Structures are given as structure tokens and as C-alpha cells.
Amino acid sequence: MTSAPERVGTAGHVIGERLLDQVMTIWILPEVRRRQARRSAPEPYPLAFAQVVFRVGAAPEIRLNEEVRGTALVRRADPASEIAVGDDVFLDDIAGVEHFELPDEDANAGHVTIVATPRGISISFDATYNKSHVRAHLDAAEEFFEAAQGALARGQFRPFAESAFAAAELLAKAELLPLPDSTILDSKTHGTVASKLHWWASTGNIDPTLAKLLTRLTELRDSSRYLRGGKQLVEGEADELFQQLIVLREHVRSHAPSQPGDFTPRTPRKVTMVAAQPIIKEIGRASCRERV
């Protein structure tokens, strides 16, 4: 979901150059040309910073030079130099960008940010969405988790089922929210979250047992809270479900995206994705194919 900055000229130069070429070709150069055509940008254009901001359900926003916003963790060009908090930092002071975070107001967006220094080009790519929404869901899930834990200790199985379900559903949404899928955030039905989690499990990104946990807690919530019949929760199963809830909680928390201002080094999460539509399509009867 998240890629560390690629620096052209280092061991990752092939990936970095390809990413740079794609970003420049698809977004940056067309935007520069549009501005030049409107005479709002000079020719030639002195490009030092560029940023493409991705929001779920919206067209990408392209920012150039002084429009680029965020916080960068950089490598100093001169390791012996001292830069105090509040000092001006110039491109000559920077050897490269290690990490780039969007500002708080853009915390739910993904981005590609390019910084050109006299020593090379740094590209920071983060395709993680809804970071602040993830944090809000994790905080709420923790309250329901503690409520479920207390209810279980008191042998109150109906409150346990209600609280455990709420915790599991909030954790499931926190797991899914980094994806660019507006239905996860906007859905008003419990079934949507459950079905998305089962799909996520089918791709190998989460243990299928944890997806089944949410389904079972949904059943128990109906019978416990609404007295709609069905199998009632008993102590042995409650203990087992709570242990599974602990596993789900730890999984989601360990994979949660970093929050704005958090520059703690972390290994990018690897996920398995599937195509939502054909990537290669045939053009008429011709044998040639094009990428879409």
C-alpha cells in the first residue's frame, strides 16, 4: 500500500525512473502545459516540486512548486551542518527525501510527491487512504473491546455479544478503509462490511477465520439483543470468540497506516490485489492489444 521514496540513481533507480516517467507523463506535464496555454505558467517551467493528491471518488489534484504541502523527513546534504527548528531549509541543504506526509487536512488522501534537488530526484508514494478515519475507527473499537471484555468477565453474554460485534465491525472497517473504495466508508448496512471482509480474506490478506468471526457475532447480536431466536451464546463459545477478537484486534492494529506526523520507520505492508476489470483488452478483430 505504501512505498518508500525511490531515489533515481540508487539501487531502486529502475522503479524510481519508471514511476517518475509515469507520474510526469500522466499528470504533471499535461498540467504544466495547461497552465502555459492559459499563460499562468512561464515557458520553460522551473519545476522543483510536484504532487498528485488522490482522494476516493474525486479527480486527482495536481500541485506544483509552492502549492506542494506536507512534512518531509530529509537527509542533509552536509551531515555536519546544524539546522535548528524554525530555520529556513533550502534545496541545497537536502540530499534526498526519506519520507513525506501530507498535512492533517489531507490525511485521508494518497499521494505521489516529487522533490528535485541538485543531487537528484526523490519520489514519495503513499497509496493509503482514510488514515484519520482508520484512527477514529480503531479508537472506537478499543472502547467496545474493553466493554466486551468486562461483560465476559461478569458472565453477561448478551452485552458481550453486542459489544464484541461492534468492536469486530469497527476493526473490519479499519482494516478495509485504506482501500480506495467509497462504499466501505459510506455504507449504512452491516452486510456490506461483512461481505467486503470476506472478499478481503479470499484474496489472502486476512485469515478467513476472522471474517467468519464477524459473521458469527452478527448472528449472536440478533439473537441476544433482539431476541430473534437462534443459538444463544454460552460461556465456552464466548471465550473462544473473544480470543479470536483479540487476534483480529492485533492484526488490524499492526497493519494500520502511520498517522500524520509519525515518521517511525516501518516496513510497507504487502497486500494481494485482484483486477476489478480486464487489464488487457482486445481491439476489434486485430491481434494487437492495448493496456487500459
Question: Which CATH number describes the domain made up of 131-255?
Answer: 1.20.120.330
Distance of CA 158 to the CA centre of its chain: 34
Q: Is the pLDDT of residue 276 over 60?
A: no
Q: Is the pLDDT of residue 12 over 70?
A: no
- Domain extents in the chain: 2-126, 131-255
Work out the burial of residue 12: count CB atoms within 10 Å of its CB; fewer than 13 is exposed, 13-18 middle, 19 or more buried: middle
The dihedrals phi and psi of 230, each to the nearest 5 degrees, come to 85, 175
Residue of higher predicted confidence among 172 and 95: 172
Predicted confidence at residue 186, as pLDDT, reads 87
Predicted confidence at residue 277, as pLDDT, reads 54
Predicted confidence at residue 3, as pLDDT, reads 43
pLDDT in tens, 139-154: 999 999 999 999 999 9
Mean pLDDT in residue range 58-69 = 96
What band does 261 get if pLDDT is binned at 50, 70 and 90?
A: low
Angstrom distance (rounded) from CA 167 to CA 242 = 11
pLDDT in tens, 181-205: 999 988 888 999 999 999 999 999 9
> Would the pTM of this model clear 0.85, i.e. be above it?
no
130 φψ region: left (φ > 0), alpha (ψ -120 to 50), beta (else):
left
The dihedrals phi and psi of 142, each to the nearest 5 degrees, come to -65, -40
pLDDT in tens, 25-36: 999 999 999 999
The rounded percent of the chain whose pLDDT value lies above 90 is: 60
Rg (Cα) of the chain, in Å, rounded? 24
Angstrom distance (rounded) from CA 204 to CA 12 = 27
Cell of 93: 541543504
Q: Is the pLDDT of residue 60 over 70?
A: yes
Q: Is the pLDDT of residue 292 over 50?
A: no
Q: Is the pLDDT of residue 110 over 80?
A: yes
